[in-house]
A and B are shown apart, each in its own frame.
Chain A
Amino acid sequence: MLVKPPLILLSGPAGFGEWFELINPSVIGALTLKTITLNPKSGNKPPRMAEGRDYVINRIGLENPGVTKFLGMLDDLRRLKTKIIASLGGDSIDEYEKIAKIVKPYVKNFDAIEFNFSCPNVEKGGLSIIGDLEGWRRIIKTIRSILSDSFLIAKLGIEGIFIEEATKFLVESGWNGVTLINTVRGLHFDGDKMILGGLSGPILKPIALRAVYEVKNKFPDIFIIASGGIYNFEDAKEFLRVGANAIGVGSALFKDPEIVEEIGKKLLEVIHKND
């Protein structure tokens, strides 16, 4: 997949393209849409987000309109002037198969399809889908066979399985890319209130760098979208140095959408210099 510049707005914080009122889409290579599930989800009860010294914690709970309504939004999404990556998830292994089949006739609308494998597996006690390794290995093969022509990306967290091992199974099943890494489970005190959610922000950067480094060393051909604590061009360069094929930004949008635009512009300059 050619992403030019190699900068992707990540699923979740990037919404459905709302940021393009503030960010010029020509400096963004692609947008990964919010994760869509089989049925609509109203998400978790508030509070849903807080911040600490060097992290943001969120527990949005995958609020999304569900796949049927989502497919009705395609005309609007096509008008966004950048490449579009759909993000799909589910409450169970079964739901991943069902949503892949439902989306199949529409795949031409997307430049790639990312599967979010950090969703809680409701049928198996709420740990992530990848926690049921047997089931997960089965479903990645099934998804590959259903969406045989799509550029398939797996979004992976660092919990449940070593990220290199997960990537090995994906490579064996013919997947094209990985997004490294998803948020990491955390707990934050907001006064007396305890918030259990996923951590993002600068605190993730060294963890994400290591993940990209390890995966690239073992699987040099897989397309890697780096995600975790990228807040400026210097951060982006470090991720490119360890083998990222594209840079993902999420929480940095909450700090300054202009900086995200800056990263895109500088990445374009580098491309032009090398042309």
Chain B
Amino acid sequence: MEKLFLSISQKIQVNANTWVITFNETLKFYPGQFIMIETPKLVRKPFVLGRWDKRLSISVQVKGEGTKWMVEKASHLKCHGPLGKPFDMNQGKGLFISSPTCLTLANILKENFDVDIIIGSRTPLLLKIPYETVIGDKKFLKLLKSLTGYDWYLISGSVEMEKVVYKTLKGKKLYFSLEEFMGCGIGACKSCAVETKNGIKHVCTDGPIFEGDELCW
């Protein structure tokens, strides 16, 4: 972990409320790790690290004042990282099911693992991506029910989406990337607690990726 000062290279709009931000700098990190980014708000926010056009990048879903500032005004970002446990899955073929907010993670997974990618979005994408894309909830559910032949699945999206996937694919080897409000990102404040079958764990140090069967749905 180190202090970082990243200069923004590009901001690319992906759908109605999601952007990819690429940086000029390089950083050694592992799939699943994240950085805490400062915005005009009081608490830094976590963003999963990834790749876009071979550059270090993050995906940003505009949710409020801080993320709006990031996509509209920011030219440099103060942050710290990389943080979190790397996702290490070198066995068999996997499938990454994600909302557009993890497009950049999809790219880094593709670099590291034997994995197919499906991007599910409620609204149409504004750019072409090299992955299968499903628009709308009904089509997404239909696709989920048809999935076979993968050794593991990694899912990243809204809580609702993750619940639907868990219910539909239960019994398979499932991993979920979780989001919880974080104060520090480094294990100091204990704010990002998540209830698991093995007791309270913390998204910043035990995650952000957890096995589906470990979580209390």
- Chain A interfacial positions (CB closer than 8 Å to B): 12-16, 18-19, 21-22, 34, 42-51, 54-56, 58, 60, 63, 201-202, 251, 253-258
Contacts and interface: CB of A to CB of B under 8 A. Distances in A.
Given A49-B181, A49-B192, A54-B42, 9 more contacts: A13-B188, A18-B188, A22-B1, A42-B200, A46-B193, A47-B181, A48-B181, A60-B189, A257-B80
A46 B194 contact: yes
Interface string B49-82: 0000000000000000000000000000010100
Contacts of A54: 42
Contact of A15 (B42, B180, B187): B187
A63 B38 CA distance: 26
Contacts of B193: 43-46, 48, 60, 63
Central interface residue in A14, A46, A56, A253, by most chain B CB within 10 Å: A46
B184 A253 contact: yes
Contacts of B182: 49
B215 to A, nearest CB: 12
A157 to B, nearest CB: 19
A21 B200 contact: no
Interface string B181-204: 111101111111111000110000
B42 A56 contact: yes
Contacts of B195: 45-46
Contacts of B200: 42-43, 63
Contacts of B189: 12-13, 15, 49, 58, 60, 254
Interface in B150-198: 180-184, 186-195
Nearest to A52: B42
B42 A254 contact: yes
A251 B184 contact: no
A63 B199 CA distance: 12
Q: Secondary structure of the B side of the interface?
A: loop
Central interface residue in B42, B187, B192, by most chain A CB within 10 Å: B42
Of all A-B residue pairs in the complex, the 8 with the closest CB atoms, nearest first, are: A15-B188, A49-B191, A18-B188, A254-B43, A63-B190, A254-B183, A48-B191, A42-B200
B11 interface: no
24 contacts: A13-B183, A15-B184, A22-B2, A42-B199, A45-B193, A46-B195, A48-B190, A49-B182, A49-B183, A49-B189, A51-B41, A56-B43, A58-B183, A58-B191, A60-B189, A60-B190, A60-B191, A60-B193, A63-B190, A254-B44, A254-B183, A255-B44, A256-B78, A257-B80
Contacts of B38: 255-256
A257 B189 CA distance: 14
A178 B44 CA distance: 30
A51 B183 CA distance: 10
A23 to B, nearest CB: 9
Given A51-B42, A56-B43, A254-B44, A22 B188 contact: no
Contacts of A255: 38, 42-44
Interface string B7-38: 00000000000000000000000000000001
A136 to B, nearest CB: 27
B3 interface: yes
Central interface residue in A21, A58, A60, A257, by most chain B CB within 10 Å: A257
Contact of A254 (B2, B180, B184): B184
B66 to A, nearest CB: 9
Nearest to B200: A42
B44 A43 contact: no
A43 B192 CA distance: 11
A251 B1 CA distance: 20
Contacts of B42: 51, 54-56, 201-202, 251, 254-255
A19 B3 contact: no
Contacts of B184: 13, 15, 18-19, 253-254
A56 B44 CA distance: 12
Contacts of B41: 51
A47 B80 contact: no
A54 B183 CA distance: 15
Contacts of B80: 22, 257
A14 B200 CA distance: 20
A50 B43 CA distance: 9
B187 A18 contact: yes
Contacts of A256: 38, 44, 78
Contact of B190 (A22, A43, A51, A253): A43
Contacts of A14: 188
